[in-house]
Amino acid sequence: MKVIDKILESTTAGDAGKVVFSFEFFPPKTEEGVENLFERMERMVAHNPTFCDITWGAGGSTAELTLEIARRMQNLVCVETMMHLTCTNMPVEKIDHALESIKKDGIQNVLALRGDPPRGQDKFVQIQGGFACALDLVEHIRRSYGDYFGIAVAGYPEAHPEVIESNGLATPEAYAKDLAYLKRKVDAGADVIVTQLFYDVDNFLKFVNDCRQIGITCPIVPGIMPINNYNGFIRMTGFCKTKIPSEITAALEPIKDNEEAVRAYGVHLGTEMCKKIMASGIKTLHLYTLNMEKSALAILTNLGLIEESKVSRPLPWKKPTNLFRLKEDVRPIFWANRPKSYITRTTGWEQYPRGRWGDASNASYGALTDHQFMRPRSRDKKIQEEWVVPLKKFDDISEKFTKYCLGQLKTSPWSELDALQPETKIIDEQLASVNQKGFLTINSQPPVNGAKSDSPSVGWGPAGGYVYQKAYVEFFCSGEKLNGLVEKSKAYPSLTYLAVNKEGNLVSDVGKTDVNAVTWGVFPAKEIIQPTVVDPASFLVWKDEAFEIWSRGWAQLYPEDDSSRSLLQEVQNTYYLVSLVDNDYINGDLFNVFKDF
């Protein structure tokens, strides 16, 4: 979705509209830095920014990395992504390669910039076959791609740094010329202006008024850079030739060597700046995070725009932002703890299910690749610490699963998530008991009968709604325990099950085409939404991945001749994967069937 549409949709809703915010990130220099950025980004995106943008390195130095990060942001982090694109060292062919790449990835937003000179050079130089300025780039995007892309451009409240003189000011003529150029960019097709950082709010508000006076009507989004440390602040404001009001200098001077005090002042200053901006009627804020989260989130918390303890969910799983998946609202429950794997295995579907899983009839899942088993280095290290211990007997394995269900371990080879889902705490003791009896659980949900949609543990969807779900548990167990479970389930007519071993031998009491909605919601002025299902065909696809994790996600972390590795492989080769649903979400008790084991 275009950022302009999201801004207008949010800020014009109702009588007053609401203030929306966004974050900017830059590509880190190391692989570990990239993974750390994504961990931080996941936490920040949980607060529902309108969009996030990723910068394009000076001289195109991070071009391919920026493209890869943008792809992951849009498709795996599931945040509306705006990619910076500059003219520096970029012939038209490279610019079109970048635009075609993000279009293919379902990204619709570009921040069109001339760009800074390459490192080591003082001035921007147009290369042969390239563009001279951002206006050329805007015109090219509109001419070549029509209305597909939303285009943002930069605005400079104090004029472009290149026309700011040694006294720190641009002449009135240079300022007016800069404004006129900004209008030409908007007239050429830009629909949002994002400003350079500033610390003089009065000057920013004058800039907005000056823009309106010459006929610029599109949203002007103020760029706010929290002060995190003194030296970085001086370096950045010097590079951008940003005016520093005397009161800020006076406040920073006595504390400049106290990083904690500088950061606290930065949060206070950022909060007060935003309050003044919001009081003027502007309902958009763009935070230059410098890849740091605490100051940005603290400012938003101070403004009442977010609550750390209250993160809303449009669906039980993260709603996609990829243009081609916008209408998707149904998924099999099996990948609940591995959403990124699900996305990679369903990329390229011609149609994504909406309303009913049956709408995706005969959809083909992608084959398993190394990608599904890759983990960030920090997560891999944590799994090594928590799961790679000597395993002498089966009870040692079940102990690991038990501790994870009780929150005593933070990771699981079967989960991409940072911790257990909040709803798991409702049934954690029952899950621990089941694991101690030899049923190794990897996915679950408690029954819910009409909880409010804003419930912190099970809520999702729009305000004023009610959510429902059937009790569900998924686990590995031996063939002997499966036979006992099948026999006992005959006394519980509300239970349905699917079970399969590594070779694909299926044991089930449901039809191969029977799709079971296990989560649904009822909301004001909307049709019933059923976002999570148990689908036998998808279960048989998922089982390959689930069984493969025994080896590629756990056993392979041990030396080849280690007996622990052999024990895990034995479980992988002899156990069944079982999906169990209690369809009586009002009076049922799924865990009763395990009591006599």
Active-site amino acid positions: 24
Q: What Cα–Cα distance (Å) separates residue 479 from each residue in 45, 196, 472, 574? A: 43, 64, 20, 7
Helix (H) and strand (E) counts in the chain: 18, 18
| CB burial readout 398-412, b (16+ within 10 A) else e | bbbbbebbbeebbbb
Tell me the DSSP string of 156-193. -TT--GGG--TTS---HHHHHHHHHHHHHHHHTT--EE
* Distance (Å, whole) CA 161 – CA 76: 36
The shares of helix, strand and coil residues in the chain, as percent rounded to the nearest 5, are 45, 15, 40
Q: In this structure, are residues 158 and 241 in contact, taking their beta carbons and an 8 Å threshold? A: yes
List residues bridging with 444 in a β-sheet: 473
* Distance (Å, whole) CA 596 – CA 591: 10
**Coil vs helix vs strand at 588:** coil
Q: CA 258: distance to chain centroid? A: 33
Burial class of residue 362, CB neighbours in 10 A (0-12, 13-18, 19+): exposed
- 63 is written with which tokens? 């071009």
List residues bridging with 194 in a β-sheet: 154, 221
